[in-house]
Amino acid sequence: MKEPEQRRGYNVTYIDGQNLDDLRKTKEEADTVLRNMEGRLSAQVKQLEGQSKLPPGVVLDEMSPCIMRKIYPQHFPDQPAISLLLRLRGDVNTADWPPLEANSTEPPTGKGPDAVAALVKRAQACRSVGPLELVVMLSGAQALLQGSTWAWQSWQSEGFVVPMLDTLEREGHGLNRLASVARGSVLVALRADGAGLDDVLTVPDCAWLQHLVTLYHKVPQLGAMTHGRFTFSHPLKEDGSTLQRLAKGGKGPQQDNQYFKEKVTSVPFQYVLYGDLMPMSFRRSAVEEVGGFDEDLPQGNDEPCASVLRRDLLLRLWKSGWRVGAHDVGFALPVPTSTGQGANNDPTKCSPEVGKLALQLLEQRHGPQPGAPPPAPMDALMARVRELNIRDLVPLADGALNPCPMDQGCNAA
């Protein structure tokens, strides 16, 4: 299928699991709802005009799509199937952004607005894969400085960009809010702990998103994927070698630490125990089922608190019957480091004491339980990872499993 509209329709079906008859039926139902609601809305608009609450001559067609998408989102084919999530936090150069007191109908100018416009353009290019939206959360002391730029982009893009302000500056809370506002069934968290935009969505095309959608369709039990860094096993080695980055310079046939592929589509993919770096993606229903990120864990926009928060969610998905995978999308973000700054009562920092507590809580929650019969929870999950990789996937190339990349071995038993 070469035509964009054909590919778009195909991918809506791909994600939502509907066939052509289902889509036709949905369209007929939507047409009926549309006619009924337009009649009621016309009457309401005339009433508001009579009360001088609306200017005379308001065109209903300019109002109804926005209203009806909120009331009956499932009846509209442009309802986003994929939501790109972006949480921006960190210091920016104030000279790059319009001043807060600026009040103009002209597009914002400066290095900051230019970077935002370039990112929005890169994201919009992927709408050929399926209905898409970009949900952005601005966090930190300089969020308001960037707010007018993102608000203008929301207006200019006719709602493709959905901006919001953070209220607690806690990553778990912020990511849960992003997921609750997003309307897609597949959520792609691009960034959660930085302010930069130049290293986000830097790939030349949108094949990465098509592959991601394909994997969620082919593996119905797939609850989440890590696209930054992963591990097959636990505990982690002190030298950090257990965690592998999905980026060039690694091992495996493609030198990106990918060793397996999906049988039917041949898309590189492997089951992993957990991951801890952005970008990451999630099946919306899976995240909702386990309650999202645990906001009661020690948090801070710093390591290791952020990593613990993400590892915990992926382990809870495994324990709830979902699966966790890894796939290289081509734009893994840099590995963050702990600043070691901040007092214990500073919610925006992960002090050494708080970071140590977060790691201890992760082990207590998912590690061996005193008096419990074997196998330990982590051992059972590691065995499951090995089983699924060997049974359900195939090596990415001849010799990809020599030596075996998993500490638990590559035998089928």
For residue range 31-87, what is the model confidence (pLDDT) as tens digits? 887 778 777 777 777 777 777 766 677 665 555 555 555 545 556 667 899 999 999
Question: What pLDDT does residue 343 have?
Answer: 46
**In the chain, what percentage of residues exceed pLDDT 90?**
50
DSSP state of 250: S
Phi, psi values for residue 255, rounded to 5°:
55, 35
Question: What pLDDT does residue 102 have?
Answer: 67
Order of strands across the sheet with 274-275? Answer: 244-245, 229-231, 274-275
Please name the helix (run of DSSP H) or strand (run of DSSP E) that holds residue 88, with its range, or none: strand 82-89
Phi, psi values for residue 315, rounded to 5°:
-70, -40
Please name the helix (run of DSSP H) or strand (run of DSSP E) that holds residue 192, with its range, or none: strand 186-194
Question: What pLDDT does residue 16 have?
Answer: 53
User: Which one, of 213, 197, 238, lies nearest residue 331 by Cα?
Assistant: 197
Q: How do 82-89 and 132-139 pair as beta strands?
A: parallel
Secondary structure of residue 321 in the 3-state scheme: coil
Higher local confidence (pLDDT), 195 or 205 = 205
Q: In whole angstroms, what is the distance from residue 175 CA to residue 161 CA?
A: 17
User: Which one, of 220, 217, 166, lies nearest residue 192 by Cα?
Assistant: 166
Judged against a pLDDT cut of 80, whether residue 222 lies above it is answered with yes
What value does the mean pLDDT of the chain take?
85
Residue the block writes with tokens 């990872």: 385
For residue range 304-359, what is the model confidence (pLDDT) as tens digits? 888 899 999 999 999 999 999 999 999 887 776 655 454 445 566 788 888 888 88
First to last CA, the chain: 42
DSSP state of 368: P
For residue range 8-38, what is the model confidence (pLDDT) as tens digits? 554 555 555 566 777 788 788 888 877 787 7
Q: Where are the beta strands (DSSP E) in 195-243?
A: 222-226, 229-231
Region 156-185: mean pLDDT is: 91
Radius of gyration of the chain (CA): 23
Judged against a pLDDT cut of 70, whether residue 383 lies above it is answered with yes
Classify domain 82-368+376-395 by CATH architecture: Alpha-Beta Complex (3.90)
**In the chain, what percentage of residues exceed pLDDT 70?**
84
Lowest mean pLDDT among 100-109, 207-216, 339-348, 380-389: 339-348
**pTM listed for this prediction:** 0.80
For residue range 110-167, what is the model confidence (pLDDT) as tens digits? 999 999 999 999 999 999 999 999 999 998 888 888 998 999 999 999 899 999 998 8
Residue the block writes with tokens 């778009």: 8
Give, in order, the Cα–Cα distances in Å from 114 to each of 61, 106, 165, 166, 225: 32, 14, 20, 23, 31
Long-range contacts of 93-102, Cβ-Cβ distance < 8 Å, separation of 24 or more: 94/142, 94/145, 97/145, 97/146, 97/149, 98/148, 98/149, 100/144, 100/145, 100/148, 102/148
Question: What pLDDT does residue 43 have?
Answer: 77
- Cβ proximity of 284 and 187 under 8 Å: yes
Region 390-408: mean pLDDT is: 94
